[in-house]
A = this chain, B = another copy of it.
């Protein structure tokens, strides 16, 4: 029986456990908080739980690191001594360049291999109580091999995510970070800034008027502030570049709300919705 160890059983790790168990994997939940682990067990996200890496990791086919991005390096450092050569190590973090630079020294050639992965799903909700077996189905999952990652290891990582129904996209870590800065981190930042703008304008009365466009644009402002601060910080350079481009676009629009630019936005939107209905 294939065996997966999930280190960190929140929304992402818990959903992964639910999905893997349905496909016949044996899933071990590994963590430092016994109460959180017990909750994941009750939720059916894992078959067994332990706080001891020495018990969890021997014999594992896959280890998936599910700590928040700013704690991934610590988590990997702690677990590394117990990882066998046969075990494929992956993460699910929202930033890949910084994570790879921190983790690469822990996984030199000849030992177990680390391949970064970023399933682009989730929600503004957190915790195993919001986990869903189908969280990864149909979602894009970016797999980010490093220059030296053996081809068969990348293939193994990609097969893992495809088995869960994800649409695998292969990118370099830096290309991933530039892309998600625009399509994920920037929309989160905008949601926060739009909420703060409403706050400055006297939230209460405004909120009575806010209809679909405000509600949709701010939904992700409900996401966890500490988690997102970590993501923004880890992807600082790419996010700043995306923000510059966005502010440039706003500036062009503010110069008389030019119809050609508004039409181009609409045309891009049509193309986007056609690709992803």
Contact = CB atoms under 8 A, between A and B. Distances in A.
Nearest to A252: B196
Interface string A192-216: 1111111111010111111111111
A253 to B, nearest CB: 6
Contacts of A152: none
- Give the one of A169, A203, A213, A249 with max B CB within 10 A: A213
Interface stretch (A19-27, A81-89, A181-189): A181-189
B197 A249 contact: yes
Interface stretch (A30-38, A51-59, A240-248): A240-248
A207 B275 contact: yes
Interface stretch (A97-105, A109-117, A261-269): A261-269
Interface residues of A, number: 87
A265 B225 contact: yes
A201 B121 CA distance: 21
Given A120-B209, A190-B190, A232-B257, A269 B222 contact: yes
Nearest to A203: B268
A130 to B, nearest CB: 14
A212 B123 contact: yes
A149 interface: no
B201 A182 contact: yes
Contacts of A212: 121, 123, 219-220
A139 B211 contact: yes
- Give the one of A123, A209, A229, A232 with max B CB within 10 A: A209
Closest 6 CB pairs of A and B: A192-B265, A225-B262, A187-B213, A221-B269, A232-B257, A193-B249
